[in-house]
Amino acid sequence: MWEPEVREDIRHFSKTWWLFLITGIGWIFVSFFVLQFNLDSVVTIGILFAVVLILAGINELFAMAAMPGWRLLHGLLGFLFVFGGIWALAYPGQTFGTLALLIGWFLLVRGTFDIVAGLSNRSVEMWWLTLINGIIQIAIAFWAIGYPARSAKLLVLWVGISALMRGFSEIALAFQVRALRKEVAA
């Protein structure tokens, strides 16, 4: 079915399926943590946003180590997210509009990748979950970009929902990789 080189690459990649499960669970915890915040200041939102960006950057750097074919893209995204998080820590008083636009663009790019991944992996169980996740992310992205001057609570909601969806995506990916590992072994 697969070439020996491809089979070996899949075996190597699929050894890290549990890493996606752990990061997915971590993202879900982050989303619950974010959504329970009672934020009253712009500075707190800036710091919260910085933490989420840094965590997203670390997650992309983990993905870079696990996905040999996409290392450059994951490394670039990881660097950009960590840099953006450090920038947000340095200037936490940024306007809500800037944060909403950044979240919107992140969700737009991530949602597009999830739609492509979902459609290209239709033979894998639960492929539709990744597709639905991507569609929801793009819908929220257009909403965020269209109304950048929303309140602090709405901005926190966007961050929490995106972290929750990222967690579901990572968990779905973990089980897809695990199923692929079993398929290659058979």
Name the pLDDT band for 3 (thresholds 50, 70, 90).
Answer: confident
Q: Which stretch, 3-12, 87-96, 159-168, has highest mean pLDDT? A: 159-168
Name the pLDDT band for 112 (thresholds 50, 70, 90).
Answer: very high
Is 159 within 8 Å of 49 (Cβ atoms)? yes
| The model scores a pTM over 0.75 | no
Between 18 and 11, residue with greater pLDDT = 18
pLDDT at residue 97 is higher than 70:
no
Alpha-carbon span 135 to 45, nearest angstrom: 26
pLDDT at residue 113 is higher than 90:
yes
Name the pLDDT band for 124 (thresholds 50, 70, 90).
Answer: confident
What percentage of residues in the chain have a pLDDT greater than 70?
84
Q: Mean pLDDT over all residues of the chain?
A: 81
Alpha-carbon span 107 to 144, nearest angstrom: 9
Q: What distance, in Å, lies between the first and last C-alpha atoms of the chain?
A: 11
The domain spans of the chain are 4-185
Name the pLDDT band for 24 (thresholds 50, 70, 90).
Answer: very high
Name the pLDDT band for 17 (thresholds 50, 70, 90).
Answer: confident
**pLDDT tens digits, residue range 142-158?**
877 776 555 556 667 77
pLDDT at residue 16 is higher than 60:
yes
